[in-house]
Structure 1
Amino acid sequence: MTDAIAFLRPAIWQDRIFNGDWIAAKGGNHTFTEPATGEQLGRIGLANADDVALAAVQARAVQTAWATSDYKERAAIFRKAAALINEHHDELAVWIVRETGAIRPKADLELREACAHLQEAAAMLTQPKGQLLASGSGQMSIARRVPHGVVGVISPFNFPLILSIRSIAPALATGNTVVHKPDLQTPVSGGVLIARIFEAAGLPKGVLHVLPGAAEAGQAMCSHPDIAMIAFTGSTAVGRSIGEVAGRNLKKMSLELGGKNSLIILDDADPDIAAANVAWGAYLHQGQICMASGRILLQRGIADAVIERVVTKARHLPVGDPMKGQVALGPLINARQVQRLQGIVEDSVAAGATLLAGGSYDRQFYQPTVLTDVRPGMRCFEEELFGPVASITVFDTDQEAIALASATSGCLALGVITPTLARGMYIVDRVPAGHVHINDQTVLAEAHAPFGGGGTSGNGGRHGGAVDWDEFTQWQWLTMKTEAPRYPF
């Protein structure tokens, strides 16, 4: 496809931000690069606090009209947006591969899941949004869900499309308007793509604003009085800052943050199946996933067999540019993340961990790594890795596994591999986690299922399915009487 006819052709969005039209940003522009090659991919408008303020006011001005518009027409917009993703799938996938460093199957997954979130949003338009309450004669009493107003969405680089659309779509479906700040490393996959599909699907002007920006724009979103809610996905450190500013301004918040997630392999598991789950949970998308299996717990009776198989996989998984060949792992997102990960590995080895595979890198390509003899207190046990490292701790009893998996202040996901379901249930009932999976690894999400965590993994909010009503609306009590009463005063 030539650039002149491409759906995401830069001539539309280069040096611009989106408010229903493509306009120049007051903050100037930003150049972003391809992590696999270091080459410039494009130049996007850079939103500053003034851009955010204008977008918030414009979004607030059209919110009531959007919320009260015909529900059938709104549902049709979401279905059309999903159809546009399917229509332009191959072109959009290339952008995700190049911008995020993803292998093609990961890009395909993002696009499929984005369509699922859009279809779920369309379905919300015909779902009940209230309850009929008990009331006296001549009166009707209703509890109904109403939108917050303007929702601010701030999303990260790793799954930029899914982690943006999972908030944007239900926020719009429930009658809110949206101001969205995608990560500056992935402004097309997490921003331009979404703006284009909604623009082409007929979303009214001003209902969605896409403002790629730095910390200044995020801070402005958290403090502007016309933005009623912040939905943030990202690191725990940034989430604390977002929560502090948004909380001081009394905004509703949905914070989905990092996680130290455990995958527990019990001694009755099949070693081949267990090793496949370990490798998938630790290495998918270079480990740059909030629910990656960052803490591998192996029961002693099966440990040697599983470790041998994981090491073999790590040494043979091809790493390289996903645009130039069939590889299993692409690059990490930036050089800073490479250096952070290398520091964790080196510090853990110095503390007594054993390096059996990997532990090296070429530019931003980090080799799949296996660390064993990992103990509590080591960086690889305590910290979220966000890189392709299988950090393995051996345990003896089920109770010890429960204690090791629970030794974290934030766990998004927990997996347990065992053919004995009763053992699996006993464990998942005793380890705090946002979502739990028996006989699967930790990297799982579906548009209709609740997703989120507590503690340092988030403030307990959830995305997906029916729980989107909880996040993106608030209850309002409405009463109607046949005639106004005569009060004694």
Structure 2
Amino acid sequence: MSNNREPHVWHANIYSNGWRASKGGTAPVIEPATGECIGSIGIGSPEDIDDAASSAAEAQESWAAMPFDRRASILREAARLLKARSQEIDDWNVRECGSTRAKAEWERHAACEQLHMAAAMTMQPDGALYPSSVPGRMNLCRHVPVGTVGVIAPWNFPILLGMRSVAPALALGNAVILKPDPQSAVAGGLLLAQVFEEAGLPAGVLHVVPGGPATGDALVRHQKVGMISFTGSTAVGRAIGEVCGRMLKKVALELGGNNAIVVLDDADVEAATSSGAWGAFLHQGQICMQTGRHLVHRSIAQHYAARLAERARSLTVGNPFRANVHLGPLINEKQRDRIDAIVRTSADAGATILAGGRFDRLFYEPTVLASVTPDMAAFKEEIFGPVAPITIFESDEEAVELVNASEYGLAAAIHTRSMSRGLALSSRIRAGMVHINDQTVNNEFHVPFGGMGASGNGGRFGGPANVHEFTQTQWVSLTDNPIRYPF
């Protein structure tokens, strides 16, 4: 693994007013591909969160008051440093998170885009003038910082999904406490802290405190944290939403998905199976936007299934740090066993395994299941693994019913030779994002991103949506002469 000027400054530490030992002890960094310990991180305690929240509250006012061009220059410098340290950051993403080299490179590049987008936000209009029925009054509505934003990031795309909230929150004048998952705390947190520190971010504005549920709960419940941005499972998101609701705290929840690709009878099967394979197997299927259900018209279902199985069997699974592979390891044994249980349960219920269905340690073969019905686990559950279940439909109406049968509503895809037909179907699908003649795993930094139903609370990340997500609106009215009232 490549070195930098301070290769071990984060070792067994957290980042909170500089690098220091945590009060919650340490945890090993385990490489999923080998099971080896490759480092140590600090685990934040509730006391660490309390210290961070107090420090962030103090630092936030001067950060928000800093001229916008200086805030922007720090974010741009962070983007430059992220690129300059690409080898080190990519290596950690590969080793710590099981990412392939190509996935790690793309994720880092996307995080740089997030930083540049956030830097540009600082110079955009931050309010609007409204007319008044009162003569001489001016009505100004402006966006003001929330204060301190708590960001709880997942392990699958830890750099991008952390930066997606951290960068715009900072740009808009907030302080941030980032809690990366312990399984991705180096790539998704501690290295990012080094980047921001070197970029000149003032002390106290950003804190990186890795930890598990107790750390996250302390962050969510802290009175000095004005907003929580959470990316993760629907079950945890519901619990966070309940706490924030009781506290009247702003919350953005980007949760799970059971995303469908709909392959209509006029689709290009070769293109559709390419999208289906990419959407199902990218990063071992460990993506909230993973193509978890393949809904295929009966007239082409056999062709689609056979070609998708061919694609699955052609993919190489192995250690991405040692070889050029298509799929790396799953993140842990618990995830592997859950995925395999869904495959076995569905096969026992009548699904046919056309490819895969086997694993070696944490390496799970890309799997294609045919004859999947809506009552099977492979249809109903979010798999979060490299499994492509195929379900047959007879009509466009049935396809829409099958897509909307899930409580989730994150992403969907439609393959058809008619854009108008695809657009018409998209308006009937309950999903925050629908991609016609593409796959479900899509992200563009400037486009609003988010889900419906059990996939989130309607919040959006990306471009102008970030302004509303990470600020509060304040109405200020002004008059030159005080108004005199009847009493």
Q: TM-score, normalised by structure 2?
A: 0.98
Aligned equivalents of 1:2, 1:165: Cα separation in 2: 22
SS in structure 2 at match of 1:9:
coil
Aligned equivalents of 2:5, 2:337: Cα separation in 1: 36
Aligned equivalents of 1:416, 1:485: Cα separation in 2: 59
**Residue deviations 1:225-248, cap 9 Å, x none?**
100100000001111121122222
Aligned equivalents of 2:17, 2:45: Cα separation in 1: 18
**Residue deviations 1:345-381, cap 9 Å, x none?**
0100111111111111000000000101001111000
Match of 2:459 in 1: 461
Matches within 5 A, 1:295-444: 295-444=293-442
Aligned equivalents of 1:247, 1:217: Cα separation in 2: 19
> Any conservation in 1 of the 2:2–2:88 contact (CA below 8 Å)?
no
Matches within 5 A, 1:12-27: 12-27=9-24
> Does the alignment pair 1:214 with 2:242?
no
Amino acid of the structure 1 residue aligned with 2:327 = L
Note the C-alpha offset of 1:453.
Answer: 0.8
In structure 2, relative to structure 1, the CA distance for the partners of 1:407 and 1:36 (3 Å cut) is: same
In structure 2, relative to structure 1, the CA distance for the partners of 1:7 and 1:282 (3 Å cut) is: farther
**Residue deviations 1:34-92, cap 9 Å, x none?**
11111112111110100001101110111111111111100001110111111111221
Amino acid of the structure 2 residue aligned with 1:411 = G
SS in structure 1 at match of 2:295:
strand
Aligned equivalents of 1:322, 1:148: Cα separation in 2: 40
Aligned equivalents of 2:48, 2:344: Cα separation in 1: 43
Match of 2:193 in 1: 195
In structure 2, relative to structure 1, the CA distance for the partners of 1:67 and 1:79 (3 Å cut) is: same
Note the C-alpha offset of 1:7.
Answer: 5.4
> Does the alignment pair 1:76 with 2:73?
yes
Q: How many residues align?
A: 486
Note the C-alpha offset of 1:30.
Answer: 1.1
> Does the alignment pair 1:43 with 2:40?
yes
SS in structure 2 at match of 1:294:
strand
**Residue deviations 1:385-408, cap 9 Å, x none?**
010001100111111111111111
SS in structure 2 at match of 1:394:
strand
Aligned with 2:469 (options 468, 471, 477): 471
**Residue deviations 1:318-360, cap 9 Å, x none?**
1000011111000000011000001000100111111111111
> Any conservation in 2 of the 1:20–1:204 contact (CA below 8 Å)?
no
Q: TM-score, normalised by structure 1?
A: 0.98
Note the C-alpha offset of 1:2.
Answer: 5.8
> Any conservation in 1 of the 2:2–2:91 contact (CA below 8 Å)?
no
Aligned with 2:245 (options 228, 234, 247): 247
> Any conservation in 1 of the 2:350–2:372 contact (CA below 8 Å)?
yes
SS in structure 1 at match of 2:253:
strand
Aligned equivalents of 1:16, 1:300: Cα separation in 2: 56
Aligned equivalents of 2:307, 2:452: Cα separation in 1: 33
SS in structure 2 at match of 1:161:
helix
Aligned with 1:122 (options 101, 119, 122): 119
In structure 2, relative to structure 1, the CA distance for the partners of 1:362 and 1:224 (3 Å cut) is: same
Note the C-alpha offset of 1:206.
Answer: 0.2
**Residue deviations 1:423-468, cap 9 Å, x none?**
1112111011011111101000011011111211011111111100
Identity %: 51
Shifted more, 42-51 versus 238-247: the winner is 238-247
CA RMSD of the aligned region, Å? 1.1
> Any conservation in 2 of the 1:291–1:442 contact (CA below 8 Å)?
yes
Aligned equivalents of 1:255, 1:41: Cα separation in 2: 32
SS in structure 2 at match of 1:153:
strand
Aligned equivalents of 1:88, 1:224: Cα separation in 2: 34
Structure 1: stretches of 5+ with no match in the other structure:
none
Aligned equivalents of 1:270, 1:482: Cα separation in 2: 67
> Any conservation in 1 of the 2:272–2:437 contact (CA below 8 Å)?
no
> Any conservation in 2 of the 1:271–1:306 contact (CA below 8 Å)?
yes
Aligned with 1:183 (options 177, 181, 184): 181
Match of 1:61 in 2: 58
SS in structure 2 at match of 1:151:
strand
